[in-house]
Amino acid sequence: MRNNRNRVLGAIFIALALVAAACGSGEDAKEGPTITIGSANFSENALVAEIYAQVLEDDGYPVERNLNIGNREVYTAALESGDLDLLPEYVGSALSNQGGTPTADSAATAEDLRNAFAAKGIAVLDPAPAQDKNGIVVRQDTADELGLSKVSDLAAYTDLVFGGPPECPERPFCLIGLQDVYGLSFAEFKPLDVGGALTVAALEGDEIQVALLFTSDGVIAAKGFVLLEDDQGLQPAENLTPVIRQEMLDEYGDALADILNEVSAELTTEELSEMNKLIGIDGEDPEQVAADWISDNL
């Protein structure tokens, strides 16, 4: 369902879509080929690519940005051809694109993606805790009143209204899965939109008490919504993960992988939601948001 998401915030990064080169300087400058960093054409992905770029630049690597270049088919082809060297991917969707079947197990899904990409000369580094996938969300007051922290907690309540995309009743990762995996029963399903403004307004206005949003959506941080833990593993893993041409790792050695893995180790879903809020709702500069996150976490 996340492949249908309307990425309205992507325009914020239009200026970053132009190629901008930056080379390391001084004693820390690395000798080697320029690393061309790309991203999908929506703001969250471009933000994470910008974090990669700034971290590598700070460590002296020669970097070139080519952000917002298109959808998965476009940027995967560019990675395979060598037009791009590095970008942030989502393990589950990337594996599905390669013909595999993702599961809720992040490590196993990343390993399957590693195997799928290996023959194409692409390495998959450590997945971040941060995920952008289907999430079940309630208001803070609802969570407090009913004692909700995980999706299975909803099984005790059958008088709640659930809202989500119109196709949700026919989707295995939406209403079907909530019923089959969690045994949930709702008083009503209200068809709205795909994690968008209609769903947010209905949840905020108590027209619905449970909603399907995307786990890293900035509105979760902005509105103080509670993202319930997918404790039965209904949703496939969608961890943000650096994927990089093996040729670049061979050129620079383990240090290049190590610095990117350090970024992944610190990047959480909650922080990603907050950064998405800062950019998409508060209107802050994406490069500065990336720089602030790096300063606070690395």
The rounded distance, in Å, linking the Cα atoms of 271 and 251 is 32
One domain for residues 68 and 164: no
Summarize the confidence of residues 222-243 as an average pLDDT.
Answer: 97
Q: How confident is the model at residue 2 (pLDDT cuts 50, 70, 90)?
A: very low
Enclosing domain of residue 180: 134-227
DSSP 88-112: EEEHHHHHHHTT----S-HHHHHHH
Number of domains the chain is built from: 2
Residues 143, 198, single domain; the answer is yes
The yes-or-no verdict on residue 1 having pLDDT over 90 is no
232 assigned to some structural domain: no
Task: Reply yes or no on whether the pLDDT at 244 is more than 70.
Answer: yes
* Predicted TM-score (pTM) of this structure: 0.89
Let me know whether 95 and 45 are in one domain: yes
Domain boundary among 176, 193, 227: 227
pLDDT the model gives residue 236: 97
In a domain, 117, yes or no: yes
Task: Tell whether 72 is covered by a domain.
Answer: yes
59, 111: one domain: yes
Quick one: 94 and 74 in the same domain?
A: yes
As a whole number, mean pLDDT of residues 123-135 equals 98
Q: Across all residues in the chain, what is the average pLDDT? A: 92
Considering the domain architecture, whether residues 79 and 112 belong to the same structural domain is answered as yes
Are 208 and 146 in a shared domain?
Answer: yes
pLDDT band at 23 (very low <50, low <70, confident <90, very high): very low
Is 211 inside a domain boundary?
yes
Question: What average pLDDT does this structure show over 4-16?
Answer: 40
Is residue 36, in this structure, part of any structural domain at all?
yes
- Residue 32 shares a structural domain with residue 115: yes
Hunting for tokens 């990064």 — which residue is that?
A: 13
Tokens of 42: 């929506």
CB atoms within 10 A of CB 101: 10
One domain, residues 161 and 106 = no
Mean predicted confidence (pLDDT) in 3-29: 44
Shared domain for 118 and 140, answered yes or no, is: no
Q: Residue 245 to residues 125, 229, 259: CA-CA distances in angstroms?
A: 11, 34, 15
Residues 143, 181: one domain?
yes
At residue 192, the pLDDT reads: 97
What one-letter code names the amino acid at 32?
G
Domain annotation covers residue 175? yes
Structure tokens belonging to residue 198: 């209609």
Residues 83 and 191 in one domain: no
Instruction: Provide the CATH number for the domain around residue 200.
Output: 3.40.190.120
- pLDDT, tens only, 190-204: 999 999 999 999 999
In percent, the amount of the chain with pLDDT more than 90 equals 90
More confident of the two residues 264 and 16: 264
Whether 214 contacts 136, CB under 8 Å: no
What pLDDT score was predicted for residue 37? 98
Q: Is 202 a member of any domain?
A: yes
Beta strands in the chain (DSSP E): 20-22, 35-38, 63-66, 86-90, 122-124, 134-138, 161-164, 188-191, 210-214, 226-227, 240-245
CATH number of 78's domain: 3.40.190.10
**Domain end (from 198, 227, 256):** 227
Residue 169 has pLDDT above 60, yes or no: yes
The residue from 208, 227, 246 where one domain ends is 227
